[in-house]
A and B are shown apart, each in its own frame.
Chain A
């Protein structure tokens, strides 16, 4: 399954799609990038006169690249006959534990790197890290979700 097909099978769209490009993806993990748009609506309120990307949005970006893109790849691997599309994908976030280190400002690009811990009984658990353009660690943690197709 090509990287573009995986992105097109994601069940998100603007303004809540936080994946630009997948750089690397195999059964063990996914690496991808996203640039936070300066005109994103959340900067108007987070914070007053001082726009910083909210931690929940960084978490969402980590989940979309690190867990959901990987999950679609893994689901497709289970059943190669069936090319998975958005309509097939059923997902739910089940837990997150993230530590944050440096802020991400409007317009910055981030890279997300995930490593699969396990994918069993429809639960995908991953160790996920995010880096900024200077390759500094932005945040790190574990994210799990339930995925079916």
Chain B
């Protein structure tokens, strides 16, 4: 799976929870889930659970805390997929 495919999948997963739709227009590694997309903490949990289902991986508390941007999520997904 390429970086670009993963980023596209992350974008599709977060879209239903985004409160600031303009944040999706220039979606990139640096897109911050909270400040750019205004996703609340409860919906961030849904994003993590959807990421787990989509990529068939398990995300622990430490990884969750480090998942602030789309790029962070992508790196965590790539690491988990390698293991």
Contact = CB atoms under 8 A, between A and B. Distances in A.
Interface string A76-120: 000000000000000010110000000000000000000000101
A118 B41 contact: no
Interface residues of B, number: 11
A145 B43 CA distance: 11
Contacts of A95: 42
Interface of B, secondary structure class, is helix
Contact of B61 (A94, A121, A144): A121
A121 B64 contact: yes
Interface-central residue, B40, B46, B48, B61, by most chain A CB under 10 Å = B46
Interface size class of A (residues with CB under 8 A): 10 to 19
B40 A120 contact: no
B57 interface: no
Contacts of A145: 42
Contacts of A144: 42
A95 to B, nearest CB: 7
B81 interface: no
Given A94-B41, A122-B45, 16 more contacts: A94-B42, A94-B43, A95-B42, A120-B45, A120-B48, A120-B49, A121-B44, A121-B45, A121-B48, A123-B42, A123-B45, A123-B46, A144-B42, A145-B42, A146-B41, A146-B42
Interface of A: 92, 94-95, 118, 120-123, 144-146
